[in-house]
Amino acid sequence: MTEDYVLKVEGLATHFSSAGGLVKAVDGVSFELRRGEILGIVGESGSGKSVTNLSILGLVQCPPGKIAGGRVLYRERDLLGAPEEELRALRGKDISMIFQDPLTSLNPVIKIGRQISEAIRLHHGLGRREAAAKAVEMLALIGIPDPERRAGDYPHQFSGGMRQRVMIAMALSCDPEILIADEPTTALDVTIQAQILDLIRNLSSRSKTAVILVTHDLGVVAGMCEEVCVMYAGRIVERASVDDLFYDPLHPYTRGLLASIPRAERAPEEGGNPDRLYSIPGSPPSLVDMPDACPFHPRCPRAMDICRRAQPPETSVAGLTPRTVRCWLHSGEGVDAG
């Protein structure tokens, strides 16, 4: 099985030093990514989703950031210790990334065709003309009408959805093995969202590109992914296949998230009023100087004594596919799971 993984993240920890103290933005995150798989990472703002991905590519600004530990294995190499040149050769070619805001992700003073062909030229020794031709080809592939003419346009002449398509074209222009999509549809409206997600899914299945899809929209996850990691306060609290996660959520946080989705037919969840939309009480903890406790315990409806005293370990649980959860309720040591 292991040889099937294109990316393996083990115990990744990224910390930031701030005026208030040490912020453990990512603290011991592990996951694997299989070839051609779409892995979802969900979590609320500040849960460490983006920092995880930036750490993989070595794009975290140090200082104030610091990779405090862990390994990111790609082709049997640890990317965390790799020299900058090696990473640079990798970025965009083997692992590429698309960002949340398509409006600012393109350089306003460079023509669209040039921006795409530049990404190509950085990694392949293609001439200006060949790269330009390839850029037009990419524009056609992502469904931009009249690509030859549009390649000569500036970003401000494109709509938001089209700019995100262009970003995808740039990211995929070198046939990367891994695409990291950091909330690719957050800034777009719903119909465009669906188109962009379709595009990512089609391209991924066509070229066997593995995708890490970061989002805070569980609906997107249900429609796109096979595996999901739920992040909370810099940790993966639950990791399972989509079916397991949606039909049998184990971690109270996951349950809370699922209960917070408005549904046509709904059962009273977690003791809530059936006529009202459930929301998880409280707000995420400050990541500064976190105590040795389950970070979710102040908001957890089923918090126990042990949750306040120690962090729950990552526990493997039975499921359709191997799944893990970080919760004392399921750790075996926890008293009475009921």
Partner 1 sequence: MKAPAFARNSIALSGAIIVGLYLAIVVVSFFWLPFDPVKMDSDHSLEAPSIASGHLCGTDEYGRDILSRIMKGTFVSLVISLSATAMGAVIGVTMGVWAGFLGGRWDHWLMRAADVLFSFPSLLLAIFVMAVLGEKTWNVVVAIGIVYIPQFARISRGAILVVKTNEFVRAARSNGAGSGFILFRHLLPNILVPIIVQVSLSLSVAILLESSLSFLGLGVQPPEPSWGNMLSAARNVMVIAPWTAVYPGLAIVFLVLGFNLLGDGLRDLLDPRLKNIR
Binding residues for partner 1, per CB under 8 A?
A: 57, 59, 88-93, 96-101, 104-110, 118-119, 122-123, 154, 156-157, 167, 170-171
Looking at residue 115, its amino acid is: Q
What is the smallest separation between the CB atom of 186 and partner 1, expressed in angstroms?
13
Strands 315-317 and 65-74: unpaired
Non-local CB neighbours of 181 within 8 Å, separated by 6+ positions: 97, 98, 200, 211, 212, 213, 214
What is the smallest separation between the CB atom of 50 and partner 1, expressed in angstroms?
11
What are φ and ψ of residue 124, in 5° steps?
-110, 150
What is the smallest separation between the CB atom of 98 and partner 1, expressed in angstroms?
8
Query: How far apart are the C-alpha atoms of 166 and 198, rounded to whole Å?
Result: 15
Task: Report the residue number, 157 or 283, with the smaller CB distance to partner 1.
Answer: 157
**DSSP letter (8 states) at residue 234:** T
Looking at residue 200, its amino acid is: I
The strand pairing partners of 227, in sequence order, are 39, 241
Task: Report the residue number, 108 or 274, with the smaller CB distance to partner 1.
Answer: 108
Task: Report the residue number, 116 or 218, with the smaller CB distance to partner 1.
Answer: 116
Task: Report the residue number, 96 or 204, with the smaller CB distance to partner 1.
Answer: 96
What is the smallest separation between the CB atom of 141 and partner 1, expressed in angstroms?
17
What is the smallest separation between the CB atom of 54 and partner 1, expressed in angstroms?
8
Beta-carbon count within 10 A of 75 CB = 10
Angle in degrees, CA 28, 93, 130, rounded to 5: 165
- What the block records as the tokens of 169 is 């074209």
Task: Report the residue number, 168 or 294, with the smaller CB distance to partner 1.
Answer: 168
Task: Report the residue number, 9 or 170, with the smaller CB distance to partner 1.
Answer: 170
What is the smallest separation between the CB atom of 296 and partner 1, expressed in angstroms?
30
